[in-house]
Amino acid sequence: MCHTAPVMRRLLVVGDIHGCFHELEALRRLVELGPADLLVSVGDLVDRGPASFEVVRYFAADPVHRLAVLGNHEEKHLRGDRHELDDPSGRITRTITRPRDYETMLEYFRTLPLYLDLPEALVVHAGLLPNVPLAEQPPKVLTGRGSQGRPGFDGATPWWFDDPTLQPAKPVIFGHSVFSEVVRRAEGRVWGLDTGAAVGGRLSGLLLPELSLVSVPTPDYYRELLRHFAPVFLLRDLPHLPWRRVLGMRPEDWPDEVARRLVHARHAWRDALAALAADVGSLRALLGWEQQGPDTREAWARALRSRPELGSPYSTVLLHAFPGGPDPAVVAKAWSCLAELEKAVAYRHQLDLAAIAGAVGGSAA
């Protein structure tokens, strides 16, 4: 009797794809994956590149032969990204993805595991804590959420995969941290596959069981997308950006419309400080502050703080500035952005400093 030997499946583990769908197709063609073979992603399917939804749709279409773990970029979208103003890559993905397609992406992200413990390899997104059982690994370590400041993951301390006590029973394959070349450690038992896809690097893969590497180059998609969307996002965000960012930007670095808005914001900031200084000076003059002794000044200061007409967002900062002058740090804390400043300054026209000075001076007398 003739027995046919079982066909061993092949396994292609791919580094962070980051929306590089065409390069993913090129990598698959390069290794000629068969119908029984597996394609596995280390996570970060999305962001930075131009085709995040196409990548997700491809993996979601065949969850038996196309697997992925949860990366920090998928997790970020699931969280709703509370720090959206500081994360342009996720915002770009949301902007270029139709709403119903974006919801489809989120549904797929909710199905992703923290790791894949396959017979051939252990696949995680960011890495492992050495000598900690797999079931006890912190999710933040596995996904790479907030890993930049964690020893072993921050690039400033010895990497977790260089720990001499790390002796995995099967290959551990990860992504997340970008290296110029594939990381190979522990005599081929640890592999890092993130080689900068979508930022001018390469999309890399590891083919098992033979442990052979394949890769294809990718353009710097992210730089081009940032160049296109940064002015759009800045126009949208400018009213709500903190002053340290607004005042630190150079208008000449931006298109005309954005530059005009930046100049307007800077003028609004300077005008608000000047208005506060002028109103403090007027109030001092109306009260005759310089001619009074310490006891009278203290009584007037208490009277000013109790005036009901000095309870507006503008007047509150005016009282902080009186009798000296506006402290920019205090103003920036009270009116943290252009929208708050403009709202507060709109109350200025309601102030009748002469009437307030007369009432305060009369009550103190």
Cβ atoms of 271 and 338 within 8 Å: the answer is no
Q: What is the largest CA-CA distance in the chain?
A: 118
- pLDDT tens for 42-95 read 999 999 999 999 999 999 999 999 999 999 999 999 998 555 556 899 999 999
Q: Per-residue pLDDT tens for 256-282? A: 999 999 999 999 999 999 999 999 999
Do residues 226 and 204 lie in contact, with contact meaning Cβ atoms separated by under 8 Å? no
Position 31 pLDDT exceeds 50? yes
> Higher confidence at residue 111 or residue 9?
111
* pLDDT averaged over every residue in the chain: 93
Predicted confidence (pLDDT) per residue in 121-177, tens digit? 999 999 999 989 999 999 999 999 877 778 899 888 999 999 998 989 999 999 999
Query: pLDDT tens, 1-30?
Result: 444 445 578 999 999 999 999 999 999 999
Q: What is the pLDDT of residues 202-249, one digit of tens each?
A: 999 999 999 999 999 999 999 999 999 999 999 999 999 999 999 999
Backbone angles phi, psi at 132, to 5 degrees: -115, 125
What value, to the nearest 5°, has the Cα angle with vertex 92 and ends 90 and 94?
70
Instruction: Name the pLDDT band for 351 (thresholds 50, 70, 90).
Output: very high
Domains of the chain: 11-226 (3.60.21.10), 241-364 (no CATH)
Percent of the chain with pLDDT over 90: 85
Q: Give yes or no for a contact between 194 and 16, defined as CB atoms under 8 angstroms apart.
A: yes
Mean pLDDT of the region 309-335:
94
In this prediction, residue 361 carries a pLDDT of: 82
C-alpha 91/C-alpha 83 separation (Å) is: 10
3-state helix, strand, coil split of the chain in percent (to 5) is 50, 10, 40
At 190 the three-state DSSP class reads strand
